[in-house]
Amino acid sequence: MLRNSSEYNALRFDRMQDTVYGQEAAVRSPTVSLDVTFIVPVYNDTRHLRACLDSVAAQRSVRAGVVLVDDGSESANVRSAFGDHPAVVRAERIPHGGVSAARNAGLSMAEAPVVGLLDADDLLEPNFAFRLLEALHEKQADLAYCDYDRFSESAPGERLIRYEIDQGAPADTPVERIVQSNLQTGTFLVRAEVARAAGPFDQSIRHCEDWEWLMRVAEVSSAWVHVPERLFHYRDTEGSASRNFEEMYLQSGKILRAMLDRHRSERLERLSERYWLNRKRTAASRVRRYLLESVRNREATRALRRIASFVWRHPELVPFLFRRFPKP
């Protein structure tokens, strides 16, 4: 890892220009120490994995590598197909246990002083790792995070929405920051010792497990830093979150309530009000998207029954279902 400002200055580069992912890829020797290890779990779907790995290999001025964890895939031999990719420093197969088990396995294998978490279809800008490492160093922070956008699988490269991280009210601590909104997985780098001090991902949680883990990361962190640049791209696949709207709505509420109960702070309660509001907006947005996808798939009748049952149990969402929200 780069340790002083002179090393950073020596490695500074011009602002990023549009490049083809993988264009700057170079073979990485496993004997070379890394600045950053990215944990990439894979289960069956490898359609976009090569593009994800290419974007890691294209990282500028930083030694970045991937620990690839095959979560017991049934339809693909991930290790043999991608183990020799220039970005991959280690590829292992584990019994199928879900994304949390795969991330825990990857974290136990990571040797770099800083780690990042990616899904198998994510994309990074070439200066993602450098800019976040730079911020970690300059601010003496434990975690650095950036802005991101989402793009449609049906229209590759089309940027649909730009997300500037919702900063909320001024936060004096990472805990005050994380109770206001989650960080998208893939948008952050965290010091490895802090990640391990937070403990493993909770394998009993099926949804929002990343937020629950980041809350524990926040509790053992001294400082986080935001890099206000769009350096990460999230691939928005059909059904990726919309079909789980009820589970995610309920689980996110439980996770935040448990965090607030641990700290019993009036200030945290006030700061979390932003999330409770955004939680309703997000659930309503997922419901509407699920309905549109169901109409396209000719499953509208079943979808309407499910939505009606959900809204009957959660009437607080009704006003949000018919409200147009401002873009982030």
pLDDT classification of 156: cutoffs 50, 70, 90 = low
55-98 confidence digits (pLDDT tens): 999 999 999 999 999 999 988 789 889 999 999 999 999 999 99
Compute CA distances 70 → 36, 189, 216, 276, 316, whole Å.
20, 22, 26, 35, 41
Token readout for 310 is: 């959900």
Does an H or E element contain 301, and which?
Answer: helix 300-313
Other beta carbons within 10 angstroms of residue 109's beta carbon come to 16
Residue whose token pair is 């009993």: 204
The architecture that CATH gives domain 5-236 is Alpha-Beta Complex (3.90)
Q: What angle do CA 147, 214, 176 make, to 5 degrees?
A: 80
Smallest Cα–Cα separation from 307: which of 246, 220, 256, 232?
A: 246
Name residue 241's amino acid.
A
Mean pLDDT of 281-302: 82
State phi, psi for 249 to the nearest 5 degrees. Answer: -65, -45
87-142 confidence digits (pLDDT tens): 999 999 999 999 999 999 999 999 999 999 999 999 999 999 999 999 999 999 99
Question: 233 near 123, Cβ under 8 Å?
Answer: yes
Which pLDDT value is given to residue 19? Answer: 32
Token readout for 69 is: 């964890």
Q: Tell me the pLDDT of the chain averaged across its residues.
A: 83
Question: 105 near 117, Cβ under 8 Å?
Answer: no
Q: Residue 12 pLDDT more than 60?
A: no
- The whole-angstrom separation of Cα 134 and Cα 8 is 7
- The whole-angstrom separation of Cα 197 and Cα 10 is 32
Which pLDDT value is given to residue 307? Answer: 87
Classify the C-alpha dihedral 160-249-212-91 as positive or negative. Answer: negative
Which pLDDT value is given to residue 39? Answer: 98
pTM (predicted TM-score)? 0.83
- The whole-angstrom separation of Cα 77 and Cα 109 is 20
| Share in percent of the chain as helix, strand, coil (round to 5) | 40, 20, 40
Q: Is 32 left (phi over 0), alpha (psi -120 to 50) or beta?
A: beta
DSSP assignment string, 163-176: E-----S--SSHHH
Which pLDDT value is given to residue 167? Answer: 65
pLDDT classification of 51: cutoffs 50, 70, 90 = very high
pLDDT classification of 14: cutoffs 50, 70, 90 = very low
Which residues lie below 8 Å from residue 177, measured CB to CB, with a gap of 6+?
A: 168, 171, 218, 224
Question: 143 near 191, Cβ under 8 Å?
Answer: yes
Q: How far is CA 259 from the centre of its chain?
A: 20
Question: 103 near 118, Cβ under 8 Å?
Answer: no
